[in-house]
Amino acid sequence: MDLVLLAHLVILFFLICTALAAIVSKDLLESVIIFNAYSFTIAVTYSILRAVDVAMTEAAVGAGISSILFVAALCKTKRREDE
């Protein structure tokens, strides 16, 4: 198996795992952190696909600004979801 294909499969597996973990998590701060990992992984995927401008935008907006906004909103709400 080609090493590049293996790297793509590992990144795809990590994307699926982080997406599902962010949805399933009951702790909202944990969900925000997992979502930031997902966004950073998407940015890495875009850079692998040689869409560097999209990767930089995703890293700045997805992992940067949105995480700040999510944490700021989380400070004004309850951290845990009621079961």
Closest CA to 34 of 74, 12, 7, 67: 67
Give the global pTM.
0.83
Tens digit of each residue's pLDDT, the chain (83 residues): 788 889 889 999 999 999 999 999 988 889 999 999 999 999 999 998 899 999 999 999 988 899 899 989 988 887 666 65
Which two tokens mark 41?
Answer: 């992984």
Cα 1 to Cα 5, 7, 8, 10, 47: the distances in Å are 7, 10, 12, 13, 22
Sorted by where each begins, the domain ranges of the chain are 3-75
